[in-house]
Structure 1
């Protein structure tokens, strides 16, 4: 339901998104039946396609041409898909979006090579753009995304990590790729540098808000809504903002500390989720997400009023208020 509401906000882009979806299917096509099946399994599991949407909307501020825009939108979504496959291996995740992950459906080896294949396809597609600045921004983004994955591994089970570590991690994990989607969409459509900079910052701020809300929903949404067990982040050792806020309560801290690195029963998992959900931590985390949301909206206020500007604003509000 929530995903349907989101899609209604950018329904005007449906014809272009259908083109991108077909391009994605072609991109993951392989002579290997195994690679083909695993890649399609991931693609057909769906997704919000937020990154391609922001590429297209940013392009509306310049000389919009779908044949050019798709050359950026497709590789950015492929990079995101590849990171998801690798994430599921690292976190030993069995379910994503209510479907078995590639590693669960096949195995870790197939998942890793599928992620590598999808990433290689992204690099192949981006070569169609003859703009060195685009390649420079994208390569820097990919390096930072990889650094973010390593930092996440290093920070696992560190209940005493500081807020700065968390923010640095989600910046690289989520915000930078959304930021690049906005910036590259602007640049490839020929906008001026000032417009591209505002869109880049909008993408960064909304990406931070998006990830914080994701981390909140891991405790406030149901298993069915999430398409995976609530509290999965904590069970996988990923210390997110709600946990960082909740640990200030000595009683909650003691429970969290005692259950880290434990093979939790379903009842124990639900108990921890309820404890976080009913604490002030959720409200504190939402306030931080709101601050990033307001910063994102401020960046849009510097840009010309248009249908694209309005749609970006509506998506930003949706991201900041979504329930799952």
Structure 2
């Protein structure tokens, strides 16, 4: 079993999710409609919907389980898309997935309202899912997502932040939504509380690894594959794990700290990336990502459905080996 075969198994449901996304992103307001469509046209891995769809097959005791899980999956992806639009404003990013960002096409103000619009559409969609526990967990998750974003802004260019601070931030920005995708997908299928708990923890560990790998790719990925310039995090003052480790390296740390500042030029970015690559920063990050993935696979053995175990283990392998 590989990622392609897992994707093909859920292809019809993923197409349904895609239909829902386009339907709910529509608007009579021209700018909102065009900006949302631009974001959808840029595509994406749709991993969060896939996690939800797989976990939504854990029991399938409800006759309308597929429809409910598809709506949940689309709401999760709309929420994710909203955070991306807001992130691009905060980061002043020009590219996302190799295409111009909403902010670069329509301006920061329109981009912020587009993100708000997508959040609202996600809430509207969730209102069609008759499960108060799903509503409670998603609303709390949205609150924590916002907290994570504010924490990232607070720590821009802050070399005094700890590794623990970094991990708490990526838990809220990334791992949280993947954990929700797994847990709420299972809840839609009337899975046991034991399965839901195990899948939530699996999603947390996988999400932590996913973001660490993403932070590694900011140093070693190519713009053509990743879809955004290498070293973009450093330029924006977003100090990720490889940089934080590198900053503690003798004979490198002081120079690295001096290079990272608002308005830094491309030569400074390239030198900073080179300095990080010459340290153990990437090795430490890769090792920690693998530890999270190992934990994810271990907790996965607690899930009662063996097929769900196998399919989710394929997704963890994709996270470990991905180049985009």
TM-score band w.r.t. shorter chain: over 0.9
Task: Find the counterpart in structure 2 of residue 120 from structure 1.
Answer: 120
Residue by residue, what CA displacement relative to the aligned partner does 1:100-124 show, whole Å, maximum 9, x if unpaired? 0000011011101111111100000
Q: Specify the alignment match of 1:62 in structure 2.
A: 59
Question: For each residue in 1:45-82, what CA deviation from the matched residue of structure 2 results, as whole angstroms up to 9, or x when unmatched?
Answer: 01110110010010111107321111211111000000
Q: Distance in 1 between matches of 2:158 and 2:264?
A: 18
Q: CA-to-partner distance for each residue in 1:281-323, whole Å, 9 max, x for gaps?
A: 1111100001100110011111235333211101101201223
TM-score normalized with structure 1 length: 0.95
**Who is 2:16 aligned against?**
19
**Pairs within 5 Å for 1:113-262:** 113-262=113-262
Cα separation, 2, equivalents of 1:60 and 1:96: 32
Offset from partner CA, 1:198-229 (integer Å, 9 cap, x none) = 00000000000000000011001122222111
Partner of 2:7: 10
Q: CA RMSD in A?
A: 1.4
Q: Which consecutive residues of structure 1, in runs of 5 or more, have no partner in the other structure?
A: none
Offset at residue 262 of structure 1 (A): 4.1
Query: What are structure 2's unaligned runs of at least 5 residues?
Result: none
Task: Give the C-alpha shift of residue 260 in structure 1.
Answer: 1.9
Displacement, 1:9? 4.0
Partners of 1:25 and 1:7 in 2: how far apart? 24
Aligned pair count reads 320
Match of 2:36 in 1: 39
How far apart, CA to CA, are the structure 2 residues paired with 1:257 and 1:168? 22
Distance in structure 1 (CA, Å) of the matches to 2:71 and 2:43: 20
State the match for 2:278 in structure 1. Answer: 278
- Find the counterpart in structure 1 of residue 48 from structure 2: 51
Distance 1:269 1:8 in 2: 40
Distance 1:267 1:260, change over 3 A: closer
SS for the counterpart of 2:257 is: helix
Contact kept, 8 Å, 1:10 with 1:311, in 2: the verdict is: no
Deviates more, 1:275-284 or 1:73-82: 275-284
